[in-house]
Amino acid sequence: MVCTSQISLAQKEKKNKAKIEKVQKVQKDSILKKGKAKKDKLKVKEHKQKDKIKTEKKELETDIEKKGHAYGKDKTIKGKEFGQERARQSKLFKDQKAEELDKAVKEKDDKIKTAKEKIKKSKEKLERNKKEKSISDKEYIEKKAKIDRAEKSVKDLENKVNKAKELKSK
pLDDT for position 114: 95
State the average pLDDT for the chain. Answer: 83
Q: Are the beta carbons of 71 and 84 closer than 8 angstroms?
A: no
pLDDT for position 96: 93
Phi, psi angle pair for 133, to nearest 5°: 60, 40
**Its pTM surpasses 0.85:** no
pLDDT surpasses 70 at 135: yes
pLDDT surpasses 90 at 92: yes
pLDDT surpasses 70 at 56: yes
Q: Are the beta carbons of 126 and 147 closer than 8 angstroms?
A: yes
